């Protein structure tokens, strides 16, 4: 299985995040899976790439041309795919992946995982989507999700579009046991004002 991991490209973050990224990489390799990620040589991206590769996974980094020019491509990826821009990068990552995991990260990570959730909501795919909530990193995001459910911006069934795992082990177990939920095809009925 090709598992796409979205994650931070920062080296400044706490070691607890690196530890979980390394654990995830090891489990991807030991499980006989391949790693798909953003291909950078920094932060959790590099940590998960190295750990996955050392555990026997094929690692594929998909990186935009602009970042290659900044010497940011990982030398630990077995294969580096260079795209014209960020949009093409995300599309290629989605197309070749069978499952998606978000480790903690910044704006880019949030944009990537929310896009795959949105595409799942719109039935463009039925692939599993998991957040690994290391150190409660995503708690405030999930609180915002709750506001959306409560205020009827988001249907309750969409809780089934993603899974929140505490650990890498829990994330991979969810993916291995995954059965896609069937979404209704009706949009919200719009109430009268």
User: Residue 98 falls within a domain, yes or no?
Assistant: yes
pLDDT in tens, 69-88: 777 888 889 999 999 999 99
User: Residue 184 falls within a domain, yes or no?
Assistant: no
Q: Helix-strand-coil percent breakdown of the chain, rounded to 5? A: 45, 15, 35
Number of domains in the chain: 1
Give the pLDDT mean for 46-57. 97
Question: CA-CA distances (angstroms) from residue 191 to 37, 124, 176, 188?
Answer: 42, 27, 40, 9
Structural domain span for residue 39: 2-175
Which CATH number do you get for residue 160? 3.40.50.450
Question: CA-CA distances (angstroms) from residue 69 to 51, 75, 79, 135?
Answer: 25, 14, 17, 34
User: Residue 115 falls within a domain, yes or no?
Assistant: yes
pLDDT in tens, 93-138: 999 999 999 999 999 999 999 999 999 999 999 999 999 999 999 9
| pLDDT at 132 (0 to 100) | 98
pLDDT at 45 over 60: yes
| pLDDT at 49 (0 to 100) | 97
User: Residue 45 falls within a domain, yes or no?
Assistant: yes
In this prediction the pTM is 0.94
């Amino acid at each position: 299985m090709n598992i796409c991991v979205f994650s931070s490209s920062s080296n400044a973050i706490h070691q607890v995040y690196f530890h979980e990224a390394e654990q995830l990489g090891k489990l991807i390799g030991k499980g006989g899976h391949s790693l798909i990620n953003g291909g950078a040589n920094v932060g959790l991206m590099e940590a998960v790439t190295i750990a996955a590769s050392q555990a026997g996974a094929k690692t594929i980094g998909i990186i935009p041309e602009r970042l290659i020019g900044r010497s940011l491509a990982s030398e630990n990826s077995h294969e580096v795919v260079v795209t014209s821009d960020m949009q093409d990068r995300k599309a290629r990552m989605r197309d070749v992946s069978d499952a998606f995991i978000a480790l903690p990260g910044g704006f880019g990570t949030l944009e990537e995982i929310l896009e795959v959730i949105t595409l799942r909501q719109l039935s463009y795919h039925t692939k599993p989507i998991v957040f690994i909530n290391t150190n409660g990193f995503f708690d405030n995001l999930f609180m915002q999700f709750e506001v959306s459910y409560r205020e009827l911006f988001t249907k309750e069934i969409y809780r089934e579009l993603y899974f929140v795992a505490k650990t890498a082990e829990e994330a991979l177990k969810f993916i291995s046991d995954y059965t896609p939920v069937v979404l209704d095809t009706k949009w919200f009925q719009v109430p009268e004002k």
